[in-house]
Every structure is written in structure tokens, then in C-alpha cells.
Amino acid sequence: MEVLLENIVAVDWRQVVMWIIGGVLIFLAIKKEMEPTLLLPMGFGAILINLPNSGAKEVIDRLFEVGIEKGELMPLILFIGIGAMIDFTPLLTNPKLMLFGAAAQFGIFFTMCMASLFGFELNDAASVGIIGAADGPTAIYVSGVLGSSYSAAIMVAAYSYMALVPIIQPPIIKLCTTKKERLIRMDNSGGKPVSRTTKILFPIVVTVIVGLVAPDAVALIGFLMFGNLIRECGVLNSLSETAQKVLANLITIFLGITIAARMRADEFLVWETLLIIGLGLFAFVFDTFAGVMLAKVMNLFSKKKINPMIGAAGISAFPMSARVVHKMGLQEDPQNFLLMHSIGVNVSGQIASVIAGGLILAFVK
């Protein structure tokens, strides 16, 4: 009885706030179905870690130490599953879509500069900027390697904004485009068929090129492309299916609850956390804006017009952003199918975000 009373008396108002934040994440996961495999364990973990004298702290801390702090194993292994999910055919059919993936990374570097102006140390500013990659594993990996003091806020912001893509992107896209532009139809013939040999060589060639240009990105791009090679080789179908479903889901669940190790009330409820969340939102907005604007500029010089909305899919939130663009196209014109083009842009954003993460590591380390 005395122990019970001691625990009740030991409850701090900040812990209560963290319970509420955990509850909100659980609500978004269950009611709104926003990244439930991640937000649900993250929300429950936030409650676990902020109970007075919680017996779960040591376990979660150990998971964080092994899975993220020493070697960043969880995000790297997760990349194998993500790579196995990705079909690069739309990108290989139309390689110029890679330009949109590159344009949508501008927000990373711009936000990094803004974070520095707000007084963050360079390693923390770079880690905040990588939220704009719209890629949770990359954000975790970069902030871990750079030893950021705000890893929890960065992780929560990165994954929360990924889940909120269907809410964040549509108003920005509409603000940047006209009705006429959103009605532009694009060729869906699929172009020339992509050979199996090309699909197999692509992940290998990309890994080698990125390794030469941005060596610090080799771990990220290597695991991503290895997962894709498992998918495309044609002789490991059962392994590919396991990587896509069992491996990806299992690691995502453990990753979510492990992130909670850095969601302690005394570390999380600080002014810098709110600032990081605000800067992360700015990075997402600027990335979307940059992708759309590039498409509009390209239309000034191209005979075959591009629907500017596909530029917004250049962020790495795969496949949520591509689905958002496709859905918006159908809302404007039920016969306007943009999925193939938006998926091509979306997977190019996945590659570009990893390269951007490697460049940041190279510059800051």
C-alpha cells in the first residue's frame, strides 16, 4: 500500500502530459489509421516510460542502446523491408522523374540553416533538417550518427509528419497550382518495357554510384537496394515476401516502442521540442512546394505538359505521398490516373533522401 501511495505521489504533471501525448498517438493510430504499426507502439511506449519508477525503463533503454544508439541496426534492417516493397519500374521507364525526388530535398538543407539560426548546434541543426526527408529510418540513422541531443523529438516529428501526409500536402498542392494545371493528363502507356536484367542491375549500380559520391550513405542505400535486389532477383520470392511483411512490420513495432526511450517528460517537454516540431513542418511544406514548382518550371520548356501535383510526391513518404497525388487527380478528373507517375517520383524521393542524408553526414561529421 505504501509503495502504491509513493508512486501516486511521485506523479509529475509533465508525466501526465506525456500520457496525453501517448494517448493522442494511439488515437491517431487506431481511429485515423495513421501509420498504426509505428504510432501505436510509440504512443504506448511513451506511457510506459513515463510511469513513476517504471520497471519498463531498463528494458526499453536496452532496446534503444542495442537497436539504435550502437550501430543504428533497427532503421538499417527496416530499410531491407522497404527496399523489398519498392518497384522501381515507373522510375526506370521515365528516369527524368528523379529530378523531382532531388528537388523535394531542398527543404532539408534550408531547414538545417534555419535551425542553426535558432541557435542549435550544427549536429542538432543537421538532424532537425533531415526531418524534411520524410523518411523515418533516415532521420533516426542520421540523428544517431551525429549524436543529436534531440533524437526523440526528431524521431517523433519525422514519423508523425509521415503519417500526416494526407492532411499536410493537399492544401499546399492546391495553393501552388491552378485548376487547369491539376487537370493536366499525362501519358499512361507505360513507355518501353523494363527488362529483368535492368531491374537487377539497378540496385547494384545505384549502390556503387552513391558509394562513390556519398560514402556516408552506403549503409542506408546499401540495405535499401539489397532489399530491392531480393525482390527483383526472382529466386528469393519467399524471402522477399518475408522482408516486405514480417520483417518490416516486426522491426517497425520494436522501433516505435524503442523510440519511447527518449520520450521521457524531463527530456521531451522542453522549448526546443516545440521548435523542432515547427521546423519539421516547415521542411515538409518547403519540400512539397519545391517539387511542385520544379514541375511548373519544366512545363515552361516542355511540349508534353507535366501535372505539377506529381512533384509533391518527391518526398520520401512512400507510398503515402503518391497515393495523395493520385487521389487528388481523381477528385479533379475521375479519368486522370496519376498513380504510375507519382509512384515513380515517390521512389526517386526515397533514393534522393538517402543521398541527402549521406551528404549531411559527410559535411557535418
pLDDT tens, residue by residue, 22-40? 999 899 889 877 778 888 8
Tell me which amino acid residue 308 is. Answer: P
Domain that holds residue 47: 2-71+78-364
67: DSSP letter: I
Peptide bond into 319 cis (omega under 30): yes
Over range 141-152, report the average pLDDT.
Answer: 84
Other CB atoms within 10 A of residue 132 CB: 33
**Using one digit for the tens of pLDDT, what is the confidence trace for 167-180?**
889 999 999 999 99
Over range 333-344, report the average pLDDT.
Answer: 88
Q: Which three cell numbers stand for residue 17?
A: 502530459
Q: What is the pLDDT of residue 289?
A: 92
H helices of 177-301, in order, are 179-182, 196-213, 218-232, 237-242, 248-259, 265-268, 271-299
The residue among 344, 77, 122, 364 whose CA lies nearest residue 230 is 77
Specify the residue for cell string 516505435.
256
Say if residue 2's pLDDT is above 60: no
Q: What is the pLDDT of residue 163?
A: 73
Over range 278-301, report the average pLDDT.
Answer: 91
304, with CB counted inside 10 A (0-12, 13-18, 19+), is exposed
Residues 84, 97: Cα–Cα separation, whole Å? 21
Residues 348, 134: Cα–Cα separation, whole Å? 13
The residue among 288, 259, 323 whose CA lies nearest residue 133 is 288
Say if residue 1's pLDDT is above 60: no
Q: What is the pLDDT of residue 191?
A: 63
Q: How many domains does the chain have?
A: 1
Instruction: State pTM to two decimals.
Output: 0.85
- pLDDT over 70 percentage in the chain: 97
Least confident of 73-82, 100-109, 148-157: 148-157
Assess contact for 82 and 248: CB atoms under 8 A: yes
**Using one digit for the tens of pLDDT, what is the confidence trace for 52-66?**
887 788 888 888 888
117, with CB counted inside 10 A (0-12, 13-18, 19+), is exposed
What DSSP letter does each residue of 90-156 carry, written as one string?
A: HHHHSGGGHHHHHHTTHHHHHHHHHHHHTT--HHHHHHHHGGGG--HHHHHHHHHHTT-TTHHHHHH
Say if residue 4's pLDDT is above 60: no
Quote the mean pLDDT of the chain.
Answer: 87
**Using one digit for the tens of pLDDT, what is the confidence trace for 210-239?**
888 888 888 889 999 999 999 999 899 999
Q: What is the pLDDT of residue 23?
A: 93
Diameter of the chain by CA atoms? 78
